[in-house]
Amino acid sequence: MAPAEKKKTRPRNYDLGNGIVRFSRTRVYHKKALYKFVGKKVEPKKTPSKPKVVEKPIGGEKNGSKRYVLVQKRTAVYPTQDRIKKRPSKKLFKNHKRTLRPSLTPGTVVILLAGSQKGKRTVFLKQLSSGLLLVTGPFGINSCPLRRISQRYVIATKTQVDLSEVKLPEKIDDDYFKRQKVKRAKKEEGDIFQKKKETYKVNETRKTDQKEVDKQILAAIRKHPDRKLLLAYLSSMFGLRSSQYPHRLQF
């Protein structure tokens, strides 16, 4: 014979619908006789602790009659140095994933909002490994050299320059823009006022690279259908007049 199927039963206090249950809280309190357990305390069971020391008898006249021995012996050798703990590897900033706004593509004319070149319209070339943008004036138009800037301090415009034929030197990266720090010489007698602070000077390699990049970008600008208007646009400075708001403007 086949085993009898168990009937599905529902609890006594089931839901009648819309969150209303069959019995109230007070009814359940009395039905379960919960009043018998109010204020009742159960003493916790004490587990017997294992002895740490064992008493052992000792024979001999000069020895003591007994002695106490540890159940778990201590280690005989202790390390001179603490063990090096394995710590989780830090997520370094150089390993972070870089993102770029969809409005920023190579050849986009951007407006700089910070730094010594703020207000100038420049051409966006590429994004470096640090996440910074590489832009240039070109230098012959608005005196803005090759420089890095964060995309937070940039307004992307709808004006585009075709950079398909422009080839940037591979050496232009984040290390290319690092300045070399010269160590201070030790103070000598009589040379307090003779030495002057060295100011930053652009090296010859930067100048040649700037000319090489600008030559290619100017050739791309001349191929633009509105080249005269684009040259005037890049040479002019950005500014807001009274009753002009940047969030209402279309760039």
pLDDT digits (tens, 9 = 90+) for 34-45: 888 888 888 888
Enumerate domains of the chain plus CATH numbers. 95-177+204-238 (2.30.30.770)
pLDDT at 250: 87
Its sign, for the CA torsion 62, 64, 69, 74, is negative
Give CA–CA dist 72/67, Å, rounded.
Answer: 15
Rounded mean pLDDT, 48-66 = 84
pLDDT at 127: 94
pLDDT at 220: 93
pLDDT at 39: 85
- DSSP string covering 57-104, please? E--SSSS-SEEEEESSPPPS---SSPPPP-PPPP--GGGSPP---TT-
pLDDT band of residue 85 (cuts 50, 70, 90) is: confident
pLDDT digits (tens, 9 = 90+) for 221-234: 999 999 899 999 99
83 versus 186: the higher-pLDDT residue is: 83
pLDDT digits (tens, 9 = 90+) for 5-34: 777 787 888 888 888 889 999 999 999 898
pLDDT band of residue 187 (cuts 50, 70, 90) is: low
How much is the pTM?
A: 0.59
Nearest to 125 by CA among 98, 95, 145, 153: 145
Rounded mean pLDDT, 238-246 = 88
